[in-house]
Structure 1
């Protein structure tokens, strides 16, 4: 029996925050992985032919590195005039727990991705909302099948192989016109406004002077790759991205003894599983380990 069959992943109702930790806990147990935790890597530096990995517990020396930090620890909130003046509450998708905590408050939801849509749906059922995005949404008709998935991954892979920063997920997958979208349209909550130009003490203001009072601003504005600890290695190009190579675009071209799993096309649970095995094989080849 394959591992994916041994772990029940068929229940679409399970939230990612529950399903993903459950999956990796089962994976660790199934293969008897001895994971050293908790450890926080502070910085990675080059020391001759080896890397010096400084952590909050001890320091390691390594010939090669597979970095799999992903994006969850680096939520992105764009700078907007007045953000520091707002007297209400500001939080990111990562901080969201339940819609019930916003009952009786007006919530401004910022973002055009799937997370923004899902949270808009939940929160609008318990309180009033305003939804803003930078650009009009493009909804995708039809299923997101394997062919569409491969095409989306290819778009991301092409960018990182040119040293460009990865785009957001929704920019390559589009938003599916699902029963959820249709239900939200029927309820009249899927009304998108242009992005505001300023945040005030009590809400937000648009360029034409229109204002909206708000108690909460919920930033559903995505994540950035958690790579600050690798900064001393100067891996980034002038574009801000990292030039990637290798079979599945996990190998850093500037430093072939470093592989990034969870960056670019491998920034998903399925993509990371597949890329992890390839990255390990390629790194062992680079290091001359059989």
Structure 2
């Protein structure tokens, strides 16, 4: 029972990871088997010093992270708190808000393309500018397309965070709330001083998930405009160099390794917290 999942993990995750690390030190066009040329750290020098898109992509990833952390995650928490109340139809509301999580991110990008369409999109129609020269090109204008994509990403992210926080709220001992209420605490004080701190393990998971979501963001921006014209992200640069026109496998692998190293930071933090908690 362990061997088959381990083999799948080895073939689909670990071998490609090791191959990417090795290829990042070579120059290869991805076509000729004998075309390997060892270039050492040249690919990494290109990534950090010569690539015109890397640092803008890093900035966009940071903005993506901040937006999800400040808007998306608190919105999911708010939905969880509201739906944790004894209201009629709570399960129906939970299902409605969770639907975007079940959709592929590429499909979400297509849905929001229709919403943001310059000619007949819902948003421009509500603004009364659809089909006119005053219509906003939400995905074509590099000054606003990142924020438009972030709203689409938040639509999905908030539902995911809502479910996680709902599970966390259900796991809080009711006696803690009762004790705080008997001591005279109001609803706001009970939540921020008793319930929220009691969900510390859930909060750590949410932080890690939010960071990883911002790093692996790819599908929406790639569907919108191929992750160009203001929507450059590090994950998109990996694909552009690996399978794009004029592919350079070594440079694409170097981008992938950089993204891997950045992603390991929250993962190591989460694992260290988990194991230290178990030891205590």
Q: Same fold (TM over 0.5)?
A: no
Richer in helix (by share): 2
Richer in strand (by share): 1
Q: Which has the higher contact order (CA 8 A, sep 6+)?
A: 2
